[in-house]
Amino acid sequence: MGLSMSKNMTQADWRQMLQRLIKAEMSRRGVKYQDLSEKLAEVGVQQSADNLRNKVNKGILGADLLLQIVFVLNTPQIKRSEIVNIFDAMGIKTE
């Protein structure tokens, strides 16, 4: 299945998608930012709750922190269809 965009995706669009994706994963598990900070600390990653909140709200994370968050939240997988659904909810048609 090819990816045909009805508009050029901007960096801001991708950041908003990332923000929504992480917040959805946190919500599914009932995890608050303080909880996330503590879970990350358990694997040796020092990030304050406020720092995490700022990074997630801006949608600006390094790849390493994104993978660490996915790991500690025990996210089984991130499906392409979920990303498409988030973009659809943002009013961005991807197909």
Residue type, position 93, single letter: K
Tokens of 81: 């269809």
Interval 15-35 mean pLDDT: 96
Looking at this protein, which amino acid is placed at residue 45?
A: V
pLDDT of 40 > 80? The answer is: yes
Cα angle: 38, vertex 77, 24; to 5 degrees: 60
Q: What is residue 95's predicted lDDT score, i.e. its pLDDT?
A: 67
Question: Residue 8: which pLDDT band, with cuts at 50, 70 and 90?
Answer: confident
Nearest to 82 by CA among 29, 35, 1, 25: 25
Q: How high does pLDDT run on average in the chain?
A: 90
Predicted TM-score (pTM) of the model is 0.84
